[in-house]
Amino acid sequence: MFDTLLEYFKTLQNYNDVVEYNIMILTEHFKSETPRMNHTFEKINQKYDYKRYAELVHDPSLDTHLEFWRGSGQFNLEVCLASLNGVYHPDADFGKFYDMDELCDWRKFKEYQNDEQQYLFFELSDNLFYTWLAFIWQSFNKNLGGFPVKILENNSSTVFNLVDFAWFNNSQYHGFLDKPIRRKSFFNRELSINELYSRVQIPYQYDVVNCSRKLEKEGEIIELKINKTQVELSFADSDQNEVVNLVESSAYKNFPIYVKRHNELLNDGWHDITYTKEADSRLQ
């Protein structure tokens, strides 16, 4: 499941023996939990069918969407319906259906030699957590009842949308206050694990202005880039570039334009190869 990402991680600074070992233990844990999570997601998907919308929600006039709630800085999950009145509780039928603290044997992990190693592990583990959940959940999108679904970290702004696999402000479904409708899969194919990791890695706090993604289709390589002034699509074997000049000074408004173009490319048969060891270097 994680093989291509693990190969890519070897190119990262500070990804030494300790970090590599701990990431291997972590991904083995995720893989061992995948069958159980598949079963749980299937049960959640069956319960929250849009056909039962009226009986599931207390007041259909209020927006109601589905949330996977996690504690701040924790790797745990509960599911609940969220509405405009702000009063909702985790679904007692599922409880805390995932908790890494209880399920993972932390004695297997090695101690870090410095802060840089520890910081890298925390960053990778957080990204892998969202990637793993998205990888499992996407198989249920074909039959998703219609509720917008997101992962929310402790009622904060850290929101990852499981409809189009994008962070809150970048998502085409960031308006969770819209009335829920029956939704089909956003993408016309299932994304690979490294493509989902790429989606998780697209900035949402906008302290990083520049972002680049490489994509491949039938042997052709392109690069999708954004900076302060434009979104640019570069072709490896051509001087004909596609440029969209950004009129907004706010990255908050510009990054959704970038993600929207990324969406279109993925649905047009391009595959994101950014986080693979085999990523082409012709555009460097």
Calculate what percentage of the chain has a pLDDT beyond 90: 44
Closest CA to 158 of 255, 68, 29: 68
Separation of alpha carbons 209 and 214, rounded Å: 17
State the pLDDT at residue 259: 92
SS3 of residue 2 by DSSP = coil
State the pLDDT at residue 19: 96
Closest CA to 187 of 121, 142, 131: 142
**Domain locations in the chain as residue ranges:** 3-201, 208-284
Lowest mean pLDDT among 21-35, 71-85, 102-116, 134-148: 134-148
Q: State the average pLDDT over residues 211-221.
A: 92
Name the pLDDT band for 283 (thresholds 50, 70, 90): very low
State the pLDDT at residue 175: 59
Separation of alpha carbons 81 and 68, rounded Å: 9
CA distances from 133 to 26, 129, 138, 149 (A): 14, 6, 9, 12
Strand duo 149-153 + 64-70: pairing: parallel
Residue-wise pLDDT for 58-81, tens only, equals 777 776 778 898 888 888 999 988
State the pLDDT at residue 28: 95
State the pTM of this model: 0.91
State the pLDDT at residue 282: 47
HEC profile for 34-64? HHHHHHHHHHHHHHCCHHHHHHHCCCCCCCE
Separation of alpha carbons 192 and 176, rounded Å: 26
Q: Has residue 185 got a pLDDT over 90? A: no
Residue-wise pLDDT for 46-62, tens only, equals 888 877 877 887 777 77
Q: State the average pLDDT over residues 266-275.
A: 96
Name the pLDDT band for 38 (thresholds 50, 70, 90): very high
